[in-house]
Amino acid sequence: MPRTLKWGAGLSIVLHSIPSLVLPPGVAILAQNVLSRATLTGSSPWVLKEFLGLPAIIQTAILWMTFVFSRKVMKEYQRQADRKRLGPDVIEVPRVKLNWPWNLDLISFVMHSRETDYCAAPWAKLSKKYGYTFNLRLFGEDQVGRPIEFSVFRLDVWTGTLFRGKMDTVLGKGVFNADGDMWKFHRGMSRPYFSRDRISHFDNFARHSDLAISKILSRLNEPARPGQPIAVDFQDLVARFTLDSGTEFLFGADVRSLDSTLPYPHEKPKDNSASFAAAFGRAQESLTYRLALGHLWSWMELFWDRTKQDMDVIDAYITPLLRQKLDRKRILGLNGNSKAEFENISIDGMEEAEDTLLDHLVQFTDDISVIKDELINILVAARDTTAATLTFTLYILAENPKIMDKLRSEVLGRLGTSNHPTPEDFKEMKYLRAVINETLRLFPAVPVNERTAVKSTVLNSGEKKYYVPAGATIPYSVLHMHRRKDLWGPDADEFDPERWLDDRLKKYVTPNPFIFLPFNAGPRICLGQQFAYKWVEALMHISITKHLFNMSFSVRRDIVLSLAGDVTSGRLEERGGPEGIREDLAQEPFDDLLQWRALD
């Protein structure tokens, strides 16, 4: 079906950049026109005479190049003055030099890597040649990659206009896509809701965990059919679990995606709730695609928006709930009802025991756009990141049965088969938290991120001080930082929860806590950090205490769960799981995949 031409997501950005694009040729054309009208005399410089004797198009081209060169020289002079102002020992970040002008071949390499390599694989290649801090200079603009200086997380770096433009069609002006006063407003509006008392409630997580595990057991007990393996797509399952428990926690009514039939291998979910879940995934994939394209993304979406259809699905779910709350707020306001009465109003017959995030937000504003942006920001951030962490946790425990046995012993020793642990119980289960932290270290749910420098600053890298000008983009790879042996020790590639309990914690993490950033850091640290921990702990607890997962896996490809006696076992088939990922990252599998002379 052909796309209908309309005002696209990138058109406004391209139109905004037109003045800077047309200024150099415009000045050149104007200068050529003025010079062509000049009256030559015998005393006129011979250079001018020779120049005016050239064809008009050659004159314009020369003037254009002269203007561009002069502007570059002026900017470089201003840059040096700004750098020296920050200190005599401040130096430029090493610049990546590739084959094409403005390092444009970096885009093709990154796009190819997304299809053939593991996440953020180009970072390993670049770090090998340029060290941990380098300037990509994509399109000739500063992109200071892989900084370990932690001023990145102070107030002098924001998300930046480039980042906001890419994310706007999904995140709008929500807390993760706002800067300045708008960010402070959203942050201040949402922060009180994520209190320790509220995130300690376990019933929601336990109820949805029970349902998720019952879906696994139900599938595994089905009679086998010819040519149809009895299997569960675990990542799809936990995506449903986090979606349902997350929407109930945030909105007061969940999407009930766990009620639908789980897909069989090679089938796509067909129900509406699963389409909502899939829309989230596709929308986020579209944002990742835009990030990989850099400045080019806006030119690819001049007359269409790759997120439009998915956001229509998301809006169709959120908007009716939002309008119900606002309507009830107005009715209660007219009737003079109290906030306590407002809390007891049900949605579709569901009694709300306490405020949801939606209830909380409508008390601040009636602006549908503001509330919807905030809800989408929180849900997108919470749902997929937690689902990814749960999936990686299962993978890594499947590869390490001894660690699984120790974890089971701790949980059963503390709780037995109790289905009602307290916050104190989770606080005492230190090995459970260590397993989760180690999973987040090796497989952070947000493996790469970026910021923009609001003002010129200095990044320290060892004994060197690097200059970062105002407006520079600062991308950084949490995934690779979490695996650096100079930060985590010689066993950084190994999955070992004990590092969070023994002397390695004091040696590496305690003196330098910013080496562990699964939830970001600084003023923009994740609001739902404790919420995410409780989510993962809930499913792990229910799995161990109630259903006693006994995972015995051979590492190949997809998770295939099957019954063994009265417990659950499984195997990974056809391709490496997390261990394979670690090995491939260490060996840099893309070395032989591309003949990229500039980096060899």
Question: What is the DSSP annotation of 275-308?
Answer: HHHHHHHHHHHHHHHHHHHGGGHHHHTSS--TTH
Mean pLDDT by 10 residues, the chain (600 residues): 68 81 82 76 73 85 88 90 92 86 79 76 79 80 65 52 80 80 82 68 82 87 74 86 87 82 73 66 84 80 88 86 85 54 41 66 87 86 87 89 92 81 87 97 88 82 83 84 92 96 95 89 81 86 68 44 37 37 33 27
Residue 510 has phi, psi (to 5 degrees) of: -60, -45
1.10.630.10, 3.40.605.10, 3.40.50.720, 3.20.20.150: which CATH number matches 172-446+518-599? 1.10.630.10
Q: Are strands 448-453 and 473-477 parallel, antiparallel or unpaired?
A: antiparallel
CA distance 170 to 307: 7
Residue 135 in contact with residue 145, Cβ under 8 Å? Answer: yes
Residue with the two structure tokens 């002006």: 173
**What's the pLDDT score for residue 342?**
40
DSSP 302-325: SS--TTHHHHHHHHHHHHHHHHHH
Rounded to whole angstroms, how far apart are CA atoms 488 and 501? 14
Q: Spell out the domain ranges in the chain.
A: 1-85, 172-446+518-599
Q: Can you say which residues are annotated as belonging to the binding site?
A: 526
Distance in angstroms (rounded) separating the CA atoms of residues 442 and 1: 42
Q: Are 96 and 130 in contact (CB under 8 A)?
A: yes
d(C-alpha 371, C-alpha 322), whole Å: 8
CB 97 within 8 A of CB 140: no
The per-residue pLDDT for 591 is 30
Q: Is the pTM value of this prediction over 0.85?
A: no
The pair of structure tokens assigned to 48 is: 């001018």
Return the pLDDT at 321. 83
pLDDT for 402: 93
Spatial separation of the C-alpha atoms in residues 388 and 390, rounded to whole Å: 5
Torsion angles phi and psi, residue 28, rounded to 5: -65, -45
List, in order, residues 6 or more apart from 320 with CB less than 8 Å away.
none
Residue with tokens 């420098």: 453
| Beta carbons of 119 and 447 less than 8 angstroms apart | yes
Binding residues for heme: 526
- Token pair listed for 449: 């991120």
The angle formed by the CA atoms of residues 363, 365 and 366, to the nearest 5 degrees, is 105
